[in-house]
Amino acid sequence: MTEHSSQGVGRGRVVRPLVRMTSRRPDEAHRAATPLELLFDLCFVVAVARAGARLVHAVAEGDPAHGIGGYLLVFFALWWAWVNFTWFASAYDCDDVPYRVATLVQMAGVLVLAAGIPEAFDEGDYTVAVVGYLIMRVALTAQWLRASRGETGAARTTALRYAGGLVLVQLGWVVLVLLPDAAWLWGLAPLIIAELAVPAFAEHSRRTPWHPHHISERYGLFTIIMLGESIAATSVAVQAGLDEHALGDLLPIAAGGLVIVFAAFWIYFSVPIHEYLVSSRQAFLWGYAHYVVLGSAAAIGAGLEVAVEQTTHHAHVSATGAAFAVTLPTALFMVSVWAVHARHFKRDIAEHLVLPCGAFLVLLATLAGHWAVPLAGLAAAATVAAGIALGARSRG
């Protein structure tokens, strides 16, 4: 552990040219996200915004199946690359020159992947996206090999298993890109399963020393980034209202969207989840399930933009369809947060029912058409209020 390892985001860090990469203590005090990690996350803002824009275009043009399918696949690549970097950094961040250079390479890979998103959506050509993904994975493999040189025994075996698993799976992606397009139908699911299986295989005999508080903070920060896409969408609604002279029609969408985002923030950060992450099994299931949590959070913003385009008559979708583009990811976010995140801190059946019932009310708002978004916002706000009241009652 280096001398600067416990310093937080707002304090300076002395960077050494080269140190021996060894595991950090999982009980390290004052462990917080680093400025480098925050910079790394900014690259994903660009990539997720690209994916959301293509999703908006597909849904607005009346082709939601194609848009949702492409979004789920592209978001998986982004999410899984972020997950792998985050858990590695929680265990082995030494913040020396080679570590920062390797992180820079991974950031470049994210941007290449983002550049390939339009081709992946519009033409089904994943070549550029896979190249960007490979850049990230090659850099991460080098990090694991470096970690193996600094470890001994079971810890070294774990690091080597990670490196070997990454290499094998990435070879599979290269082969899939070189094969005819029809091969994606058969090769996609096995490769995704293989990606998800690498951590379980690598940490079978010894877990990496990730830091529970650091991991929970990193996931929380990434959730905020995903919700930030919805904040941008509310700004789009106001700007479109000014440009189209339809402010009266779009302000309710902007207000409802803002309330939804704030309610989603409140719901997610209402529990001390780091207290739950006490074993690898619990942490892995929690971390994997965040694919739904984070994906739905980002999709709320895309849905708000679809609602704006439908209101300004720039989308080939009905008012109900546009409303569903907002209410479905909002409800999915609420249910998934309850299932994998907040559920572990609920005390009785009434508290457990708050988020599922709130999600049902949000979906019910779809029937209101043009007024669906503000009504969904009211339902989300009522869900938060009910949770606060029941929590206060339980504590009392």
DSSP structure class, residue 18: -
- Report pLDDT digits (tens) over 32-48: 899 999 999 998 888 89
Which carries the bigger pLDDT value, residue 307 or residue 10?
307
What is the dihedral sign for C-alpha 284, 286, 290, 292? Answer: positive
Q: Is the pLDDT of residue 357 over 90?
A: yes
- Report pLDDT digits (tens) over 175-220: 998 888 778 888 889 999 999 999 989 988 788 999 999 999 999 9
The whole-model pTM stands at 0.90
**What is the rounded CA–CA span in Å between residue 107 and residue 44?**
9
Average model confidence (pLDDT) across the chain: 88
- Report pLDDT digits (tens) over 226-248: 998 888 877 876 777 667 767 77
Phi and psi at 346, nearest 5°, equal: -80, 145
Q: Is the pLDDT of residue 265 over 70?
A: yes
Q: Is the pLDDT of residue 318 over 50?
A: yes
Start-to-end CA span in the chain (Å): 43
| DSSP SS3 for 176 | helix
What is the chain's Cα-based Rg?
Answer: 22
At 3, the pLDDT band (50, 70, 90 cuts) reads very low
pLDDT of residue 349: 93
Q: With contact defined as beta carbons under 8 Å apart, do 151 and 159 qualify?
A: yes
DSSP structure class, residue 97: H
pLDDT of residue 309: 87
Cβ contacts of residue 270 below 8 Å, gap of 6+?
342, 387, 391
Q: Taking the CB of residue 309, how many other CB atoms lie within 10 A of it?
A: 22
pLDDT of residue 16: 67
Q: Is the pLDDT of residue 5 over 60?
A: no
pLDDT of residue 15: 65
| DSSP SS3 for 130 | helix
pLDDT of residue 241: 65
Is 247 exposed, middle or buried (CB count within 10 Å of its CB: 0-12, 13-18, 19+)? Answer: middle
Q: With contact defined as beta carbons under 8 Å apart, do 166 and 144 qualify?
A: yes
pLDDT of residue 391: 80
Tokens for 93? 């961040």
**What is the rounded CA–CA span in Å between residue 374 and residue 385?**
16
pLDDT of residue 14: 62
Tokens for 13? 């860090």
pLDDT of residue 7: 44
Amino acid at 260: I
Q: Is the pLDDT of residue 303 over 80?
A: yes
Q: With contact defined as beta carbons under 8 Å apart, do 304 and 235 qualify?
A: no
Q: What domains can be seen in the chain, in order of their start residue? A: 35-202 (no CATH), 212-395 (1.20.1410)
